[in-house]
Structure 1
């Protein structure tokens, strides 16, 4: 498990392809690898990877399967790429963000970047099926960082996060421009809440559900409103 509090930025020092997987060697910031052992878990841009070899005092090698390469942004990394990293949480660790599994649900795209004074705003475009799990003031994990959704537009298919200078310093978000791909892990409690409500509605309404959804569309409402507005749930 991870907390969503990024602990530093690592650099891809080398990569090598082998049948069925790609090996990455990462160089970590000073102190990050202290006590790191083979078999340990590290979140790399939000993807949980296992240390397969220690390299010097500040590096480690990871093997990534083809499925993970195709479903996340790891497949686009090259030598010199910079990534957010966090070591697995220990028992009793403070959860400064919210609990993360390191299992990415989908990739999203930076649609717009704004920079009001002392802030950095990312508008992120999301594939339609996943917007049902995104709520203003709710949690979401982007490239391994636990963030709070500031605004969300389900019809348009985007949400925004506001980043303070400390977040920009500790992560790679300041380097992301429109068009950049991002790994997203939705908050599990929110997913369970939404899916349970949807399943209950489908079970209770049965054949009437398509007609009700059609009526909502005619009145300019999103059928997702049937599931109600999920509140921000505790992590």
Structure 2
């Protein structure tokens, strides 16, 4: 479990292709590696991955083909930057919202401004996921906990404070790029339960006409 508060931005040191998976070596600030062990969970661009090798500040992670297809990790190349968050402890303060690191979908950036004054990002999500995104609702984008400012149809907008710009990789993105989206779990459960309830009730209403 994660909080959606990105702890550091790290650099991709290398990428190695294997049959059925891809390995990433991420060079992470040692200050954020305390007590990390093999098998420990780390969110990379919002994707929950397990550490497979730790050599100094360089940590290796493997991503299966399914993960690469569902996320934007396939775009990563040496020298690129990624958002990093270690898994949360029960005693940690949660300044964001609970995040599992299980990506719902990717969203295309349709517009953005990354200057500090009035910075924003606007996205387009697949239609089947737009029903879980509401004005003032929580959403995780590349692992960062953010609040939806406006949502209409398949598009939604978030605004960014200077600290978010400083502490994340959003400055590196351009229109047309894709980001990882994790919809709020509680919102998803609520919407799904309401839909299923209405589906069960609808035949009764229709039969009574």
- Could you tell me how far apart the structure 2 residues matched to 1:6 and 1:71 are? 21
Per-residue deviation, residues 164-220 of structure 1 (Å, max 9, x unmatched): 0000000011221111100000000000111111111111013867xxxxxxxxxxx
**Residue aligning to 2:24:** 24
Rounded Cα–Cα distance in structure 2 between residues aligned with 1:115 and 1:64: 29
Q: Counterpart of 2:52? A: 52
Residue pair 1:38, 1:52 contacting (<8 A) in 2 also: yes
The count of corresponding residues between Structure 1 and Structure 2 is 206
Q: Quick one: distance in 2 between partners of 1:71 and 1:205?
A: 34
Match of 1:161 in 2: 158
Match status 1:7 vs 2:7: yes
Give the deviation of 1:119 after TM superposition. Answer: 2.7
The runs of at least 4 aligned residues of structure 1 exceeding 3 Å deviation read 114-117
Q: CA deviation at 1:20?
A: 1.3
1:182 pairs with 2:179: yes
* TM-score normalised by L of structure 2: 0.94
Output the CA distance in 2 between the equivalents of 1:181 and 1:130.
15
Which runs of no fewer than 5 residues in structure 1 stay unpaired? 210-235
Conserved 8 A contact 1:33-1:59: no
TM, length-normalised to structure 1: 0.84
Provide Cα deviations, 1:146-170, integer angstroms capped at 9, x if missing partner: 000000102xx10000000000000
Q: Distance in 1 between matches of 2:11 and 2:87?
A: 19
Instruction: State the superposition RMSD in angstroms.
Output: 1.5
The whole-number CA distance in structure 2 between the counterparts of 1:43 and 1:80 is: 18
Cα shift at 1:96: 0.6
Which has the greater radius of gyration?
1
Please report how far the alpha carbon of residue 41 of structure 1 lies from its aligned counterpart in structure 2 after TM superposition: 0.3
The correspondence for 1:202, drawn from 180, 191, 199, is 199
3-state DSSP class of the match of 1:133? coil
Q: Could you say which residue in structure 2 is the equivalent of 1:36? A: 36
- Gapped runs of 5+ residues in structure 2? none
Q: CA 1:116–1:18 in 2, change beyond 3 Å: closer, same or farther?
A: closer
**Correspondence for 1:95:** 94
| Residue of structure 1 equivalent to 2:144 | 145
Deviations 1:75-107 (A, max 9, x none): 111111111010000111111100011000100
Secondary structure of the residue aligned to 1:31 is helix
Q: Write the distance in 1 (CA, Å) between the matches of 2:29 and 2:47.
A: 18
Quote the Cα distance in structure 2 between the aligned partners of 1:115 and 1:99: 26
